[in-house]
Amino acid sequence: MSELPRLALSVRQPSAWAIIAGHKPIENRTMGSIRAGRMGLGRICIHAAAGLKAEEFRYLYWRFGQHGVQCPAPADLPRGAIIGTVEVTGIITQSDSAWFAGPAGLTLANPEPVDPIPAPGALGYFEWHPGGALAPPAKWMRSWGTVMPDASGGDLFPDAPIAFARPPKKPWS
């Protein structure tokens, strides 16, 4: 893609990755945030937000797994950058899609990844500009999925799937 749209929407990881990878066709928002952010139809950039809390990632990792989607480890997900573009095709308040958690959402299509472009984010749709640096991984991100380190600090069972005894608590209401 030669020219990127000037408008972007900042989305926390791993949801930003799932949108650009074509797994997540709906970005859930409130109707108030859609109106306040002046969100409408058309092609936009997806900005991977710099912030990410362990409990958010844990819940979304589990939730995506319920849809058969295996997301990358948190340290492997770029943050604080434009990571691709997507077409916003509609604004909905109800849907039978398992990806809809309401109360409203943006329907998405035709994602196209780009190499991460460091950029600051903002709420709602915003005019982005390159700058800054990718957010560095926090300590918890680097140790994600390590069950039993071996003597060299690696994981004894690197191919073992991450399991949950019970669903993680949803970190937001």
Whether residue 118 has pLDDT greater than 90: yes
Per the CB < 8 A criterion, the answer to whether 75 and 141 are in contact is: yes
User: Is 164 inside a domain boundary?
Assistant: no
pLDDT digits (tens, 9 = 90+) for 43-92: 999 999 999 999 999 999 999 998 899 999 999 999 999 999 999 999 99
DSSP structure class, residue 50: S
User: Is 107 inside a domain boundary?
Assistant: yes
**Region for residue 13 given its phi and psi (left: phi exceeds 0; alpha: psi -120 to 50; beta: otherwise):** beta
Confidence of residue 25 (pLDDT cuts 50, 70, 90): very high
User: Is 12 inside a domain boundary?
Assistant: yes
Instruction: Please give the single-letter amino acid code of residue 161.
Output: P
Which of 25-29, 115-119, 143-147 is the least confident region? Answer: 143-147
Q: What is the mean pLDDT of residues 31-53?
A: 94
DSSP structure class, residue 142: H
The number of beta carbons lying within 10 Å of the beta carbon of residue 171 is 13
Rounded Cα distance between 123 and 16, Å, is 14
Residues 6 or more apart whose Cβ sits within 8 Å of residue 156: 147, 148, 149, 150
User: Is 85 inside a domain boundary?
Assistant: yes
Matching residue, tokens 């604004």: 91
pLDDT of residue 153: 56
User: Is 47 inside a domain boundary?
Assistant: yes
What domain range is 132 assigned to? 7-142
Q: How many domains does the chain have?
A: 1
pLDDT of residue 159: 56
pLDDT digits (tens, 9 = 90+) for 119-156: 999 989 999 999 999 999 999 999 887 654 555 555 55
User: Is 83 inside a domain boundary?
Assistant: yes
Kindly tell me the sign of the dihedral angle through the C-alpha atoms of 11, 26, 63, 158.
negative
pTM for the structure as a whole:
0.87
User: Is 116 inside a domain boundary?
Assistant: yes
- Reduced to 3 states (helix: H, G, I; strand: E, B; else coil), residue 119 is coil
Confidence of residue 170 (pLDDT cuts 50, 70, 90): confident
**Residue among 102, 110, 124, 142 nearest 47 (CA):** 124
Whether residue 115 has pLDDT greater than 90: yes
CATH of the domain at 132: 2.30.130.30
User: Is 37 inside a domain boundary?
Assistant: yes
